[in-house]
């Protein structure tokens, strides 16, 4: 008892002695502590996603084959359930409880033309727009207009008994119309990159046995292309706005008689009353023809990858649902693709946008390697689809050299908020950081950046964690980073839109999409880490299963990283 | 009442920042700032159990997987080996189906009989081809198999002793 009181008394004396020294500095320091605590409490934010969802992003099957890893799947489609194979299209009048159809390209166009649908199923009919970006100006097209062009071109090709049509155009509304014309009028569509020389184009045409060609007027020497392509019977020129006054109907002497040449805008003008503005009706059980794209290869002009309609819709649905609902492309978005539609990832993203009734902007210069700043000037997009090469070039040319002390400091602060799991807000700080690096960009509304990397692309252009963080900070947009491969519609992997974590080295590619299942094969016998050749199977994969020309490693959070 | 002493102000006590209480508060401040700003490692979850490797079994190599000790319980149905460990109460030692543990259970399941004589006695013999079963029994077997595929994992396949596949496994 006695000792007790003495301890208390001693403590009391100690505290009294301590407090006796209280002075103005003490008050200041105490005030500082309180202010700091209040400040950090007020500014603290919830993370955008539960950290556990990033700590394990895909699930492994509990059994594996010898020499392989287990099968990995997206968290959306657990093992034992079917992979995502379609858009789940519900026809009006179908009973509510039935599961929807897989759908195809026609459903996508139909949905785009139908306009937005409310949660309760009411059609409000607000359509998206399609813009063609030419340099600084953007030309607006209504969907009816595109439907009309599609009907004219489709019925012309159909009536001249064409089965296969090759499209060799820059990204434009005509390219989109031609793709949908193929779907509605039963034409096998082959999308050929536009920047090929006549010889490789001729080879590709021969290989594909295309009977019709839609190409840019004046970009090709017809007699050279037609040589050895006896099956070619129809050519439709698409004349640019500036060169429409010219007569493109001229046919070189040597191919006269075998080739019928038409000009897109003249055909549309002549037939538009006949064709109508309505989307043609179709029997949902009838299949659409395949869409073929060209996958660039080092040795030749490229190899054909023929996507069946079910591969495409599965890939499109996989991409669409890989982004959680609040971040998904919505009717208020304007999606700009600065990557060529002849590649499957941008093609599927644009289809996703059309299906979600978003507006779409196509850029005539779009391709794997474009100037990001120049390609985005004409419009103010909310979503941009780009390639890893474009972004990595832009980062090394503009973002890195432009960072001074102030922007470095504000970057440090914003990286802290990324590291704690939420996007930095668009504030003063953000403006300060952006002075310089992105000053010339018109990206005020940008909220999502979809970057894809080809599995066989130069490893140099793979983005690393710091580059991705820079992109998030400087554009103020969230980033998804996908890996695409030949034979897989859409993508194989895509990062979680809320995954801002940073590690060392090149970034991982996230988890498999819900439309595929991934196994790494040829795993070294005594490997301590799981690594091997990427083998993909699922409904978005042509012929069901394919092995990609790339090796990957599975990280501890079940995401995949290229080796 | 003022004394001459009080006219002279007392020497002002020098306010010092280095008093113990200030030092304590300052270090508290520094610790708080550090705790707030230090880089946090991303959350990581413990790794799940390593997946079981798919194996090719022969009746002899399957035999040890009967649940004795801490072994898993496997049984084979028409060439497919199921891991029935989650149903150890039924298929493990002491359970009503314990005879099937580590064995080819096809015939027993087809005939709805759990007796010893349903099992192939000679482990070196070719696998039971089930040729003599009637339609009812085959249907019975089919429904068992479907039930197993729904509930349990296929962890391997069963081949006869001396099969080339068994040698390579």
- Closest partner residue to B17 (CB to CB) among A25, A37, A62 is A25
Residues 6+ apart with CB under 8 A from A409: none
What are the chain A neighbours of B44 within 8 Å (beta carbons)? 55, 556-557
Q: Look at residues A484, A512, A485 and name the one whose alpha carbon lies nearest to residue A496.
A: A512
Q: Each residue of A186-206: pLDDT tens digit?
A: 999 999 888 788 888 888 888
Q: Which residue of A has its CA nearest to B41?
A: A419
B46 touches chain A (CB under 8 A): no
pLDDT tens digits along A54-106: 999 999 999 999 888 999 999 999 998 899 998 888 887 777 778 888 889 99
pLDDT at A278: 83
Q: Is B4 on the interface with A (CB under 8 A)?
A: no
For residue B42, give the nearest of A29, A40, A51 by CB distance. A51
Q: Say if B62 falls within a structural domain.
A: yes
How far apart CA A240 and CA A216 sit, in angstroms, is 8
Nearest to A471 by CA among A392, A561, A385: A392
Query: Does residue B100 lie within any of the structural domains?
Result: yes
pLDDT at site B13: 57
Q: Give the H or E element holding residue A189.
A: strand A188-191
pLDDT(A273) > 80: no
Distance CA B6, CA A233 (A): 118
Buried b (16+ CB within 10 A) or exposed e, A369-402: ebebbebbbbbbbbbbbbbbbbbbbbbeebbeee
pTM: 0.88
Alpha carbon dihedral A15, A19, A20, A23, in 10-degree steps, equals: 160
Domains, chain A, in order of start with CATH, read 2-43 (no CATH), 56-83+323-562 (3.40.50.980), 139-307 (3.40.50.980)
Where are the extended beta strands (E) located within B92-150?
none
**Mean pLDDT, residues B113-139 taken together:** 80
Please answer whether residues B21 and A19 qualify as being in contact, where contact means their C-beta atoms are separated by less than 8 angstroms. yes
| Confidence at residue A134, expressed as pLDDT on a 0 to 100 scale | 84
Nearest CA in chain B to A28: B22
Minimal-distance CA residue of chain B relative to A62: B51
Report if residue B46 sits inside a domain.
no
Q: What is the DSSP letter of B18?
A: T
Average pLDDT, chain A: 87
Weakest-pLDDT range from A98-102, A242-246, B144-148: A242-246
Question: Residues A12-40: pLDDT tens digits?
Answer: 998 888 888 888 888 888 999 999 999 88
User: Which one of A13, A20, A23, A504 would you mutate to disrupt binding with B, by most B Cβ within 10 Å of its Cβ?
Assistant: A23
**At residue B3, does pLDDT exceed 50?**
no
Provide the pLDDT confidence category of residue B122 given band limits of 50, 70 and 90.
Answer: confident
CA pair distance A47, B42, nearest whole angstrom: 12
What is each CA distance from A264 to A190, A251, A475, in whole angstroms? Answer: 18, 15, 38
- The whole-number pLDDT of residue A468 equals 93
Interface test mutation site (partner B, options A25, A52, A75, A532, max chain B beta carbons within 10 A): A25
Question: Per mean pLDDT, which of A50-64, A109-123, A226-240 is the most reliable?
Answer: A50-64
Task: State yes or no: pLDDT of A297 exceeds 80.
Answer: no
- Over residues A288-317, the mean pLDDT reads 86
What b/e readout covers B32-66, taking b as 16+ CB neighbours within 10 angstroms?
Answer: eeeeeeeeeeebeeeeeeebbebbbbbbebbeebb
Question: Are the Cβ atoms of A63 and B155 closer than 8 angstroms?
Answer: yes
| Optimal mutation site among A33, A38, A63, A70, interface B, most CBs of chain B within 10 A | A63
Does position A483 have pLDDT exceeding 80, yes or no?
yes
Which A residues, 404 through 423, put their C-beta within 8 Å of a C-beta on chain B?
416, 419-420
Residue A468 sits at the chain B interface (C-beta within 8 Å): no
Contact B25 A60 (CB under 8 A): no
Reported as a single tens digit per residue, the pLDDT across A536-554 is: 999 999 988 999 989 999 9
Q: What is the DSSP string of A105-120?
A: HHHHHHHHHH--B-TT
Q: Which tens digits make up the pLDDT trace of A130-187?
A: 999 888 888 999 898 899 999 999 999 999 889 999 999 989 999 999 999 999 999 9
B2 falls in which pLDDT band (50, 70, 90)? very low
pLDDT of A492 > 90? The answer is yes
Q: Would you say residue A225 has pLDDT above 60? A: yes
Task: Taking residues A519-528, report their average pLDDT.
Answer: 84
pLDDT confidence bin for B42, thresholds 50/70/90:
confident
If one compares A142 and A251, the residue with the highest pLDDT of the two is A142
B115 occurs within a structural domain = yes
Please give the tally of structural domains in chain B: 1
Q: What is the pLDDT of residues A302-315, one digit of tens each?
A: 788 999 999 999 99
- A37 touching B (Cβ < 8 Å): yes
Q: Which CATH number covers residue B152?
A: 3.10.120.10
Q: What is the pLDDT of residues A425-476, one digit of tens each?
A: 766 555 655 555 555 566 788 899 999 999 988 889 999 999 999 889 888 8
pLDDT of residue A41: 87
Per-residue tokens: A251: 């046919």
- Residues in contact with A222: Cβ distance below 8 Å, sequence separation at least 6, in sequence order: A235, A251, A252, A255, A259, A261
Per-residue tokens: A147: 């439907």
More confident residue, A419 or B9: A419
β-pair partners for A520: A534
Q: Which domain holds residue B127?
A: 55-168
Best of B19, B30, B41, B42 to substitute, by most chain A Cβ atoms within 10 angstroms, is B42
The pLDDT score that the predictor gives to residue A396 is: 87
- In the predicted model, what is the mean pLDDT of residues B126-152? 87
pLDDT tier for residue B1 given thresholds of 50, 70 and 90: very low
Higher local confidence (pLDDT), B113 or A159: A159
DSSP helix/strand/coil, A337: strand
List all residues of chain B from 129 to 148 with a beta carbon under 8 Å from chain A: none
DSSP A255-306: GBTTBEEEEHHHHHHHHHHHH-SSPPP--TTSPPPPEEEEE--SSSS-EEEE
pLDDT on residue B7: 53
């Amino acid at each position: 008892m006695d000792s007790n009181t003495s301890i208390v008394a001693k403590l009391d004396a100690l505290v009294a002695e301590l407090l006796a020294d209280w002075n103005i500095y003490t008050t200041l320091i105490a005030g500082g502590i309180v202010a700091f605590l209040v400040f950090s409490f007020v500014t603290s934010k919830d993370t955008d996603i539960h950290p556990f969802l990033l700590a394990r992003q895909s699930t492994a099957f509990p059994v594996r084959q010898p020499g392989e890893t287990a099968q990995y799947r997206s968290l959306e489609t657990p093992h034992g359930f079917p992979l995502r194979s379609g858009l789940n299209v519900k026809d009006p009048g179908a009973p509510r409880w039935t599961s929807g159809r897989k759908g195809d390209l026609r459903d996508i166009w139909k949905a785009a033309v139908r306009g937005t649908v409310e949660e309760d199923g009411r059609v409000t009919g607000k359509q998206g727009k399609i813009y063609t970006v030419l340099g600084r100006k953007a030309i607006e097209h209504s969907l009816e207009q595109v439907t009309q062009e599609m009907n004219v071109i489709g019925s012309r090709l159909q009536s001249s008994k064409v089965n296969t049509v090759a499209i060799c155009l820059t990204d434009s509304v005509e390219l989109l119309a031609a793709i949908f014309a193929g779907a509605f009028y039963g034409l096998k569509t082959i999308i050929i990159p536009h920047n090929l020389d006549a010889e490789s184009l001729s080879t590709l045409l021969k290989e594909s046995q295309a009977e019709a060609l839609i190409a840019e007027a004046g970009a090709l020497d017809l007699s050279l292309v037609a040589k050895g392509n006896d099956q070619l019977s129809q050519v439709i020129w698409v004349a640019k706005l500036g060169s429409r006054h010219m007569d493109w109907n001229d046919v070189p002497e040597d191919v006269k008689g075998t080739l019928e040449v038409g000009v897109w805008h003249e055909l549309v003008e002549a037939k538009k009353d006949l064709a109508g503005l309505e989307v043609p009706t179709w029997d949902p059980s009838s299949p659409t023809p395949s869409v073929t794209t060209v996958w660039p290869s080092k040795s030749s002009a490229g190899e054909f990858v023929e996507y069946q309609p079910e591969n495409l819709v599965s890939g499109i649905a996989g991409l669409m649902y890989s982004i959680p609902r609040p971040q998904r492309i919505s009717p208020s978005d304007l999606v700009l693709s600065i990557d060529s539609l002849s590649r499957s990832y941008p093609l599927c993203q644009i289809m996703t946008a059309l299906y979600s009734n978003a507006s779409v902007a196509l850029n005539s210069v779009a391709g794997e390697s474009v100037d990001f700043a120049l390609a985005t000037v004409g419009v103010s997009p909310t979503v941009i689809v780009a390639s890893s090469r474009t972004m990595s070039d832009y980062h090394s040319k503009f973002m890195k050299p432009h960072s001074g002390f102030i922007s470095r400091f504000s970057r440090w602060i914003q990286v802290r908020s990324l590291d704690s799991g939420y996007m930095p807000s668009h504030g003063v700080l953000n403006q300060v950081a952006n002075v310089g690096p992105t000053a010339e960009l018109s990206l005020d509304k940008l909220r999502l950046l979809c970057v894809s990397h080809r599995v066989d692309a130069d490893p140099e252009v793979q983005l690393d964690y710091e580059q991705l963080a820079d992109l998030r900070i400087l554009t103020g947009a969230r980033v998804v980073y996908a890996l695409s491969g030949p034979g897989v519609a859409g993508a194989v992997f895509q990062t979680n839109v809320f995954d801002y974590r940073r590690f060392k080295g090149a970034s991982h590619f996230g988890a498999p999409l819900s439309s595929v299942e991934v196994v790494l094969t040829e795993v070294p016998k005594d490997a301590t880490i799981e690594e091997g050749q990427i083998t993909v199977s699922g409904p978005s994969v042509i012929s069901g299963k394919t092995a990609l020309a790339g090796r990957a490693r599975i990280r501890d959070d079940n995401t995949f990283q290229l080796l | 009442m003022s004394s001459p002493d009080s006219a002279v102000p007392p020497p002002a006590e020098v306010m010092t920042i280095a008093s113990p209480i200030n030092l304590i508060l300052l270090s508290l401040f520094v610790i708080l700032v550090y705790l707030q700003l230090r880089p946090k490692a991303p959350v990581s979850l413990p790794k799940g159990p390593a997946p079981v490797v798919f194996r090719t079994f022969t009746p002899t190599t399957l035999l040890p997987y009967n649940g004795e000790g801490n072994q898993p319980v496997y049984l084979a149905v028409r060439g497919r080996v199921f891991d029935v460990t989650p149903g150890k109460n039924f298929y493990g030692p002491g359970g009503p189906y314990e005879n099937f543990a580590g064995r080819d259970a096809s015939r027993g399941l087809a005939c709805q009989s759990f007796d010893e004589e349903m099992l192939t006695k000679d482990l070196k013999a070719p696998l039971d081809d089930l040729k003599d079963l009637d339609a009812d029994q085959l249907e019975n077997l089919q429904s068992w198999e479907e039930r197993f595929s729904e509930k349990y994992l296929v962890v391997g396949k069963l081949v006869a002793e001396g099969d080339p596949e068994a040698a390579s496994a």
